[in-house]
Amino acid sequence: MNLVISRGTWRKIWNFVLFQIGWFACILGAAHHQIGLALAISLICIGIYLWLYQNARSEHELLLKVFIYGLIADTILVQLGWIRFESDFPFAAISPVWMWALWLVFATTLKESMAWLQGKNGLAAVLGAIAGPLCYEAGVRLGAASWPSPEDRVFALIYLAVVWAIAMPVFLYFAKEK
């Protein structure tokens, strides 16, 4: 029995760990009004990813695409009044900066710890439709946001399921090695 873990597997493990660190930094930073610390930790996680990845230009493009999608999706959520983010810097009318960082940290997983989903669009869509809304619900329960009403919560979670069901296959397409 071979118990040696390959370098590629270690990269995926560390990528997942860095994503978790970035996710909790953003959520808890927002909940406790420590946005600067949350952004610093997220930028370190993103920086490590870019430092380790060989084709930084394609990585910057991937991160930018995911960031734009996330900014639009979350701003629509805010504009519909279905969520209130605890720390809404820079403007209350759009998604907050800590969510921007969270989308970027998430984007770092697409070629590493989530690469196993490449080519499995149906599974990616189903997992996105389930995990995406669950992450927002977790963020709410940890104090980073709130649902204005029970009805808003239902509409928001349905909206997020659709947003993430679309996002995952699209993001994996963007992440595909060319």
Is the pLDDT at 178 greater than 70? The verdict is no
The encoded tokens of residue 170 equal: 């699209």
**Residue 27: is its pLDDT beyond 70?**
yes
- What value does the mean pLDDT take over residues 133-162? 98
Give the type of residue at 122.
Answer: G
Query: Cα(124)–Cα(170) distance, rounded to whole angstroms?
Result: 10
Alpha-carbon distance of 149 to 154, in angstroms, equals 9
- pLDDT confidence bin for 57, thresholds 50/70/90: confident
Residue 12 has pLDDT above 70, yes or no: yes
Contact (Cβ atoms closer than 8 angstroms) between residue 86 and residue 144:
yes
| Cis amide linkage into residue 150, ω under 30° from 0 | no
Rounded to 10 degrees, the C-alpha dihedral 149/143/44/68 comes to 0
> Can you tell me the distance from the alpha carbon of 178 to that of 160, in angstroms, rounded to the nearest whole number?
29
Residue of higher predicted confidence among 22 and 56? 22
Mean pLDDT of 18-27: 97
Query: Which sign does the torsion angle of CA 47, 48, 54, 59 carry?
Result: negative
Q: Which two tokens stand for residue 120?
A: 């499995």
Q: What is the CA radius of gyration of the chain?
A: 16
Tokens describing residue 3: 């118990």
CA distance 33 to 30: 5
pLDDT band (50, 70, 90) for residue 1:
low
Q: What is the per-residue pLDDT across 79-104, written as a single tens digit (0 to 9) for each?
A: 999 999 988 788 888 999 999 999 99
Specify the pLDDT at position 2. Answer: 67
Q: Greater confidence, 57 or 38? A: 38
Question: Rounded to 5 degrees, what angle do the CA atoms 171, 66, 137 make?
Answer: 90
Strand, coil or helix: what is 178? coil
